[in-house]
Chains A and B, each alone.
Chain A
Amino acid sequence: MSQSPPFFRAENLACARGERAVFRDVSLRLEPGGALLLRGPNGSGKSSLLRVLAGLLPPFAGHLAWHDGAVADAPDRHTARLVYLGHANALQPALTVVEILTFWARLQPGGDAGRVPGALAAFALRDLAELPARYLSAGQGRRLALARLLLGPAPLWLLDEPATGLDRDATDALWAQCAIHRGAGGMVIAAVHGPAGLPDARELDLAPHSLTAAQDDAWAG
C-alpha cells in the first residue's frame, strides 16, 4: 500500500449550484508529473469542478482522495497540497506587486517569502515590483496572480483559464513553469479553451457529464 506512488483522485463527482445540477459522474486521477485539461463549453462546469477539487465547494456526490486518505478526513492536509488560481486575480489596487506577493507567501500553506524574487522573475514582474496593482494591465495582473503558484511547494495546481489576457511571452512562461512543476513531480489541472502547452496532458471533456450546457443551448436556440 505505502509503496504505491502518491496520487490524487476524484470519483463520481456531482455538483449542484443552488437548485441547478451542473455535472455528474466526473472521475479523474492524477499521478506525479501528470496534467489534466478540462474542456467543455461555457457553463459546462469547469470552474465549479475546480472549486470542488479545491475544497471550496462541497461536492453534491462523490469524493476526493489522496493516496494516503480521503480529503474529507483531512481537509487541511488537502488545502496544504494545492494552489488554486480562480478567475479573479485577488489583487488589492492600493498594494504594490511585491507587497501582494509577500502577503501571499505568508498566507499560503507552505509559502516562503524567500521565493518572492524568483516568482517575480519567472513572470517578468521584477520591473513592476514597486508599482501599485491599480496601475497593472489585465495581463500584468494575471501574471501577478500566476506568480503565487511559485511561492510554495504545493504539488497540485488548479488553474482556471490561466492564460486569460496573457501576451505570447507570458503564455510561454506559464507553460514553462508548468513543465518545471511537473518535472519536479507536481500535478496540474487546468481549464483552458484554447491550445495549452501541457504535453501529454489527458483531456476531460465535461460536455457529456454536463447537465446545464444542453439546457442552456436549448434556451439559446
Chain B
Amino acid sequence: MTAFWALVRRDLHLALRQGGATMLVLVFFVLAITLFPLGIGPAPEVLTRIAAGVLWVAALLSALMSLERLFQADFADGTLDLLALGRLPMPMAVLAKALAHWLTAGLPLTLVGPPLALALALPVEALPAAWLAMALGTPCLTLLGAIGAALTVGIRRGGPLLALLVLPLYIPTLIFGSAAVDAAAFGLSPAPHLLLLAATLCVALVLAPWAAAAALRLALE
C-alpha cells in the first residue's frame, strides 16, 4: 500500500509543481461553458434545457485535454519500465495514476461545474444532484480515458487518436450524467440515473486498470 500512495503522492507533487497544465484545463472548462449563453442567447428556457448537456460535454472535452499526458512523460523518460518492474502490479499503478489525475483534473471540474451551470439557468435545486453526478461521472472519464491514453502512449501527437478512441467509451457516462442533472432540473428524481452512473463507475473501476495495464505492457515491448 505504501507503494500505491507513494505513486499517488508523486503524481500530485508533479501536478502541483507544474500547476499550469491543471489550471489550463479548468480555464478551458469554464470558457467552454460560458461560451454557450453567449452563442445561443440569454433565453432561460432554452438554456435550462441544454444546461446538463453543456456541462457534461464540456467536462468530457476538458478530461480529454488532460488525459493525453497521463502516461506520456513516464513513458518518455523510462519511468514506465521501472513501474512495470516495481512492486506495484501494473493495474494498481494505473489506478494510482488515475486517482492522482482525478484529484487534479476531475475533482476541480466537479466542484466548479455545477455552480457554473447556474449561469445556464440551471435551477438551484438541481445543484446537489449535479454535484453528485459529476462526482460519480468524472472518475469514469479518467478511468476510461486511461485506456485510450495507454493505447496511444507511444504515438507522437496521439491526441486526436485518443479522442477517437475514448469519446465512444464516454457515451454512457454522458447519457446517464446529463439525464441525472436534467431530471433534477425538471423536478424529477435523479436517483435512477445516478445509480446507473454509479454502475458505470464500478465497471470502469474493475475493467479499465487492467485494460490500460495490458496496453502499457504492449507499449513497453
Interface stretch, picked from A27-35, A104-112, A121-129, is A104-112
Given contacts A79-B85, A107-B82, 17 further A-B contacts (CB under 8 A): A82-B85, A84-B81, A84-B85, A88-B78, A91-B77, A92-B14, A92-B73, A92-B79, A94-B13, A95-B10, A99-B10, A103-B10, A106-B3, A107-B3, A107-B83, A107-B86, A110-B87
- 23 interchain pairs (CB within 8 A)? A54-B81, A56-B81, A57-B221, A88-B78, A90-B78, A90-B81, A90-B82, A91-B77, A92-B10, A92-B77, A92-B79, A94-B17, A95-B17, A103-B7, A107-B3, A107-B7, A107-B83, A107-B86, A107-B88, A108-B87, A109-B86, A110-B87, A148-B82
Q: When the two chains form their complex, are residues A56 and B79 in contact, meaning their CB atoms are under 8 A apart? A: no
Report the minimal beta-carbon distance from B78 to chain A, rounded to whole angstroms. 3
Q: When the two chains form their complex, are residues B82 and A109 in contact, meaning their CB atoms are under 8 A apart? A: no
Report the minimal beta-carbon distance from B101 to chain A, rounded to whole angstroms. 16
- The proximity string for B residues 63-100 relative to A, scoring 1 for CB distances below 8 Å and 0 otherwise, is 00000000001001111011111111000000000000
Interface size class of B (residues with CB under 8 A): 20 to 34
Could you tell me which B residues sit within 8 Å of A by CB distance? 2-3, 6-7, 10, 13-14, 17-18, 73, 76-79, 81-88, 220-221
Question: Is A193 interfacial (CB-CB < 8 Å)?
Answer: no
By a CB distance below 8 angstroms, the chain A residues around B14 are 92, 94-95
In the assembly, what is the distance between CA of A58 and CA of B218, in Å? 10
Identify the closest chain A residue to B88 (Cβ): A107
Q: When the two chains form their complex, are residues B77 and A106 in contact, meaning their CB atoms are under 8 A apart? A: no
Question: Is A55 interfacial (CB-CB < 8 Å)?
Answer: yes
Report the minimal beta-carbon distance from A142 to chain B, rounded to whole angstroms. 12
Could you tell me which A residues sit within 8 Å of B by CB distance? 54-58, 79-80, 82, 84, 86-92, 94-95, 99, 102-104, 106-111, 148
Interface of B is mostly: helix
Max chain B CB contacts within 10 Å: which of A56, A89, A107?
A107
In the assembly, what is the distance between CA of A92 and CA of B77, in Å? 8
- Could you count the A-B residue pairs with CB atoms below 8 Å apart for me: how many are there? 74
By a CB distance below 8 angstroms, the chain A residues around B86 are 79, 107-109
Report the minimal beta-carbon distance from A100 to chain B, rounded to whole angstroms. 9
By a CB distance below 8 angstroms, the chain B residues around A54 are 81, 85
5 pairs of A and B residues whose beta carbons are closest in the complex: A88-B78, A106-B6, A90-B78, A94-B17, A107-B86
Q: When the two chains form their complex, are residues B221 and A95 in contact, meaning their CB atoms are under 8 A apart? A: no
By a CB distance below 8 angstroms, the chain B residues around A107 are 3, 6-7, 82-83, 86-88
By a CB distance below 8 angstroms, the chain A residues around B73 are 92
In the assembly, what is the distance between CA of A57 and CA of B13, in Å? 31
By a CB distance below 8 angstroms, the chain A residues around B76 are 88
Q: Given A56, A80, A110, which contacts B221 in the complex, CB threshold below 8 Å?
A: A56
In the assembly, what is the distance between CA of A106 and CA of B82, in Å? 12
